[in-house]
Structure 1
Amino acid sequence: MKILKRLLKIVIALMGLLVLTVIITLWVDSLGTNYLKINKNESHFNNSYIITNVNVVPMNQDTVLLDKMVFVKEGIIETIADTIEVDGIQIFDGEDKYLTPGLIDMHVHVWDRYELGLYLSNGVTAIRNLWGMPMHLKIKEEVNEENIFSPAFFTTGPKLTGREFIGDDNLNLTNPSEAKEKVISYKDRGYDFIKTYYGLDGEIFDAVIEQAKISEIDIVAHPSQKVPFSYHLNPQIKSIEHAEEIVQQPLEFDLDTIKLQPIINTISQSNHTSYCPTLTVFNNIYQMMMHDSILDSEALEFMNPLIKKVDSENQFNRWFNAKQEDSTTVNRIKNQHDFHITIVRKLHEAGVPIICGTDAGIGVTLPGFSIHKELKFYKEAGLSNYDVLKTATVNASKTHSIMNSMGTIEPGKIANLLLVKENPLLTLETLENPTYVFVKGRKLNRETLDSFNENGKHRKNLVATALRYLENFIVEK
C-alpha cells in the first residue's frame, strides 16, 4: 500500500511538473511577441490626426484624389477634403505619397502571433483564417480588445468534413444532428464563419447550411467531392476556395476551356458568391519541384518552425518523389497552374467577384509576403491594376457583412491604410514595401515593420506551437 501511495505521489508530481513546463513554455513564447503590444498610455493623438499632402486611392472608384487631406478620428476616417481644419489635432505630412486601403488576405492559416507582424509588414491589415482552433479565439480576443498590433482578425471554426476520415486536422461529422450542434457551438464560442471541407455528403451538408442560416453565420466552402460543384452556390456560402478545385472536380482534370465556360457561367449566375483562387499555394508545388534547395532558402525562415519541420518538409518530399517517379509531373503541374490563370480571367470576364487569398501558412507559402505574388498572378490573368487591387480591398470587404467597414477610403470606414511611394494603379510593386501601415488609425513606420520581420524570422517556438495544436485535439475532438 505504501508503495502505491509513493507511486501516486510521483505520478502527481510528474503531472504537476508537466503542467508547469507547458505553462512556462507558452508564457515564454508569449513574451517573445511583446513587441506587438499596444501601449495604451501613449498620447491620445495616436489614432486621431490629419494627413496632409496625400494622394488618395479610394478604391470605391478607379481614380486618384490628388493632394487631399484625410481626417482620422479615433481610428475612423472622418473626412476627406481639400482643406480640413480641426483645433488641437496632430498633423501628419503624407509627403505627396499615395494612401490606399490596407490589403486583405481572405485565405490564411495562422500558427502564432509572430505571423501577425509579418502580415502587417507586407501591408495586410485584415486576414480571414480558415482553419480555426481555440488559439485563434484567444488571438481574436486580443485583437478586438486592441491589446496587440495585428491585422483585423476573422476566423472560421474547425474544418468540417463528413463521415470519411480525411485527416486528424479535420472534424468528422457523422450525422445531421451533430452537424447542426457544431454550427451552433462555433457561433456561440465566437468563431466568425463555418468552414466546410472536402468529404461532406449531401445529407450532412444540408444540415450545416440549414443551421448556418438559422444561426446567421456565413459559410466558406472548400468544395466537397461528395456533392455536385453547383451545390456550393447556396446563398449561405459566401465564397468558394481554390481554382484547382474547378479542375479537380467538375472538369475532372481536363484542362479544356470549352468545358470550363459553362462552369464559369453557373458561378456567375449565383450573384452572391465570391471566388478565392489561391493560385500561389498551387504554384508553390511547381516551385518546390523546380528548386531542390527551397527548404534551406532564407525566405523559409519566415515560416512557423513546426510547420516548416512537418508540413513544409512533407510537401517537399511528396512532390520531389513524384518528380522522380514520373518526370512529366513537373509539366503537368505547370500546365494546371497556367490553366488556373485562365480560370481567373474567365471568372473576371463573367463578373464573378474575385477575392484575394494565398493559403499562407502551409507548405512553403509565406505569411504576408505571398499576397504580392498572388496579386501578380491576377495581373497575369489580364486584370487591370485597379481590378487586381479590388480583389484585396473592396471585393474582400463585401464578402461578409462583418467586414464591410474596411476595404475603401471613405468617411465611416476603419482607418486600416497604407502609405506607399508610388501610385499602385500604375505600379503594384509599391505595395510590397509600404512606408507606413495604419491599423485602426495607429501608425506603424517602416522601421517598426522591418523589426516585425526580424522577430518573425528568428522565432524559435516549435514546442509552443505544438502545444497549441495539441489543445485543439483536446478541446475539439
Structure 2
Amino acid sequence: MKILKKILKFILALLGLICIAVLIILWVDALGTDYLNISKNDPKANNSYVITNANIIPMNQDTVLVNKMVYIKDGIINNIADTMAIKGVQVFDAKHKFLTPGLIDMHVHVWDRYELGLYLSNGVTTVRNLWGMPMHLRIKEDIINEQILSPTFITTGPKLTGTVFIGDDNVNLTNVAEAKEKIIGYKNRGYDLIKTYYGLDKDLFDAVIEQAKISEMDIVAHPSQKVPFSYHLNPQIKSIEHAEEIVQQPLKFDLDTTKLQTIINAISKSKHTRYSPTLTVFNNIYQMMLNDSILDSESMGYINPLIKKVDSNKQFDRWFNAKQNDTAVVGNIKNQHDFHSIIVQKLHEAGVDIICGTDAGIGVTLPGFAIHNELNFYKEAGLSNYEVLKTATVNASKTHEIMTAMGTIEPGKIANLLVVEKNPLLNLATLKKPTYVFINGRKLNRKTLDGFNEKAIQRQNLMATAIRYLEHLIIE
C-alpha cells in the first residue's frame, strides 16, 4: 500500500512538473508575439482618421477616384468626399498615393500568432482559416476584444471527413447523428464556417448540408471523392477549393479542355458557387522538384518550425522520391499547373467568381507572401489587373454574409485599407510592400510592418505549436 502511495505521489508530482513546463512554454511564446498587442503599438488605440490627398481604387468600379478625402470613424469608413471639415480627428496625408481595399486570402492555415503579422505586412487584412482548432477561437476572441493587431479572422471548424480518410488532422465522422452533433458543437463554440474534406459519402454529406443550413453555417468544400463533383454545387456550399480537384476527380487527370468545359458550364449555372483555385500551393510542388535545397532557403524561416519539420519535409521527400523514380513526373506536374491556369481562364470567362486563396502555412507556401504569387498566376491566366484585384477584394467579400462589410472602399465598410506607391490597376507589384496598412482603422507604417517580418522569421516555437496541436487532438 505504501509503495502504491509513493507511486501515486510520484505520478502526481510528474504531472505537476509537466503542467508547469507547458505553461512556461506557452507563456514564453505569448511574450514573443506581444508586439501585436494594440496597447504597445498605439497607446491611444486610435482608429479614427481623416485621410487627405488619396487616389482611391474603390473596387466597386474599375476607376481611380483622384485626390479624395476619407473619414474613418471608429474603424469604419464614414464618408468619402472632395473636401470635408472634421474636427478633433487626426489627419493623415496620403500624399497622392493610392488607397486600396486590404487583400483577402480565402484559404490559409494559421499555426501561430507570428503569422498574423506576416499577413498584415503583405497587405492581407482578412484571412479565412480552413483548419479550425481551439487556438483559433482564442485568436478570434482577442481580435473581437481589440487586444491584438490581426487581419480580420474567419475560421472553419476542424476538417470533416468520412471513415476511410484517416489522419490526426481530420475529424472522421462515422454516422449521421455524429455529423449533426459536430456542426451544432462548432456553432456553439464560435467557429464561423464548416470545412468538408475527402471521404464524405452521400449520407454523411447530406447530414452535414442539412445541419449546416439549420445552424446557419456556410460550407467550404474541399471536394470529396465519395460523391459526384456536381454534388458540391449545393447552395449551402459557398466555395469550392483547389483547381487540381477538377483535374483529379471529374477529369481523372485527363487534361482535356472539351471535357473541362462541361464542368465549367455546370459550375457557372450554380450562381452562388465561388471557386478558390489555390494555384500557388500546387505550383510549389513544381518548385520543390526544381530546387533540391528549397527547404534551406532563407524564406523558409517564415514557415512555422513544427510545420517545417513535419509537413514541409514530408512533402519535399514525397516529390523528391517521385522524380527519382520517374523523371517524367516533373513535366507532368508543370503541365497540370499550366492546365490549372486554363481552368481559371475558363471559370472567369463563364462568369464564375474566382476568390483568391493560397493554402498558405503548409509545405513551402509562405503566410502572407504567397498571395502575390497567386495574384500573378491569375494575371497570367488572362485576367486584367482590376479582375485580379477583385478576386482578393470584392469577390471574396461576397462569399459569406459575415464578409459583406469588406472588399471595397465606400461608406459603411470596415477600414481595412492599403496605401501603396503606384496604381495597382497598372502595377500589381506595388501591393507587395504597402507603405501603410489600416486594420480596422488603425494605421501601421512600413517600419512596423517590416518589424513583424523580422519577429516571425526563424522563430523558435516548435514546442508551443506542438502543445496547441495536442490540445486540438485531445478535444476533437
Q: Partners in 2 of 1:300 and 1:250 — Cα distance?
A: 34
Matched position secondary structure for 1:158: strand
Return 5+ residue gaps in structure 1 as ranges. none
| Cα distance in structure 2, aligned partners of 1:308 and 1:88 | 49
Decide whether aligned partners of structure 1 residues 29 and 40 sit closer, same or farther in structure 2, where only a CA change above 3 A counts. Answer: closer
After superposition, what is the alpha-carbon deviation per residue over 1:100-159, rounded to whole angstroms, capped at 9, x for unaligned?
Answer: 000000000000000000000000000000000111111111111111000000000000
State the partner residue of 1:88: 88
Is this contact kept in 1: 2:35–2:41, CA < 8 A?
no
Q: Could you tell me which residue of structure 2 aligns to residue 75 of structure 1?
A: 75
Deviates more, 1:466-475 or 1:36-45: 36-45
Alignment of 1:286-435 (within 5 A): 286-435=286-435
The residue aligned with 2:171 is 171
User: Is the Cα–Cα contact under 8 Å of residues 105 and 356 in structure 2 kept in the other structure?
Assistant: yes
CA drift of 1:285 comes to 0.2
Secondary structure at 1:356's aligned position in 2?
coil
Task: In structure 2, give the amino acid aligned to 1:148.
Answer: I
Native 8 Å contact 2:45 2:442 kept in 1: no
SS at match of 1:388: helix
Contact 2:38–2:45 (8 Å) recurs in 1: no
1:69-468 equivalence runs, <5 A: 69-468=69-468
Aligned mates of 1:232, 1:356 — CA distance in 2: 19
DSSP 3-state at the match of 2:245: helix
Say if 2:119 and 2:368, in contact at 8 Å, map to a contact too.
yes
Answering whether residue 10 of structure 2 is matched by residue 3 of structure 1, we say no
2:196 counterpart letter in structure 1? T
Q: Which residue of 1 aligns with 2:48?
A: 48
Q: SS at 1:125's partner residue?
A: strand
Residue 44 of structure 1: how far off its partner (Å): 5.2
Deviation at 1:186, TM superposition (A): 0.5
2:431 partner amino acid: L
SS at match of 1:127: strand
Three-state SS of the structure 2 residue aligned to 1:39 is: helix
For residue 458 of structure 1, report the CA deviation from its aligned partner.
Answer: 3.1
Say if 2:39 and 2:45, in contact at 8 Å, map to a contact too.
no
**What value does the CA root-mean-square deviation take over the aligned residues?**
1.0
1:45, 1:89 within 8 Å by CA — same for their partners in 2? Answer: no
Shift of 1:47: 1.1
1:165, CA displacement in angstroms?
Answer: 3.4
Contact kept, 8 Å, 1:111 with 1:465, in 2: the verdict is yes
Q: Determine if contact 1:158/1:170 at 8 Å carries over to the other structure.
A: yes
CA distance in 1 between partners of 2:174 and 2:192 (Å): 23
| 75-84 or 42-51: bigger deviation | 42-51
| Secondary structure at 2:264 match in 1 | helix
Looking at structure 1, the residues matched to 427 and 336 of structure 2 have their Cα atoms a distance apart, in angstroms, of: 28
Contact 2:375/2:388 (8 A) holds in 1: yes
Alpha-carbon offset, residue 2 of structure 1? 1.6
Counterpart of 1:16 in structure 2 is: 16
C-alpha contact 2:196 2:220 (8 A) present in aligned 1: yes
2:472 corresponding residue in structure 1: 472
Contact kept in structure 2, 1:45 and 1:90, CA below 8 Å: no
Q: Give, in whole Å, the separation in 1 of the partners of 2:197 and 2:43.
A: 46
The CA distance in 1 between the partners of 2:65 and 2:145, in whole Å, is 33
Q: Which amino acid aligns with 1:149?
A: L
Task: Indicate if the aligned counterparts of 1:385 and 1:424 stay in contact, CA closer than 8 A.
Answer: yes
Taking the aligned partners of 2:249 and 2:4, their CA distance within structure 1 comes to 59
The answer to whether structure 1 residue 33 and structure 2 residue 38 are counterparts is: no
What is the Cα deviation at residue 90 of structure 1?
Answer: 1.3
State the 1:257 CA deviation: 0.3
Letter in 2 for 1:2: K
User: Secondary structure, in 3 states, of the residue corresponding to 1:70?
Assistant: strand
Question: How far 1:166 sits from its partner (Å)?
Answer: 2.9
Q: Which stretch of the first structure deviates more once superposed, 42-51 or 60-69?
A: 42-51
- Letter aligned with residue 409 of structure 1: I
- Opposite residue 181 of structure 2, the aligned amino acid is E
Q: Tell me the distance in 2 between the aligned counterparts of 1:383 and 1:42.
A: 39
Give the TM-score normalised by structure 1.
Answer: 0.99
CA contact (8 A) 2:102 2:126 kept: yes
SS of equivalent residue, structure 2 residue 39: coil
Partner SS, residue 66 of structure 2: strand
Q: Percent identity?
A: 75
Q: Distance in 2 between matches of 1:301 and 1:308?
A: 9
Q: Does the C-alpha gap of structure 1 residues 99 and 322 become closer, same or farther in structure 2, counting only changes over 3 Å?
A: same
Query: 2:459 corresponds to which letter in structure 1?
Result: R
Displaced runs of 4 or more, over 2 A: 40-45
How much has 1:4 moved relative to structure 2?
Answer: 1.7
Q: Is the 8 A contact 2:161 2:196 kept in 1?
A: yes
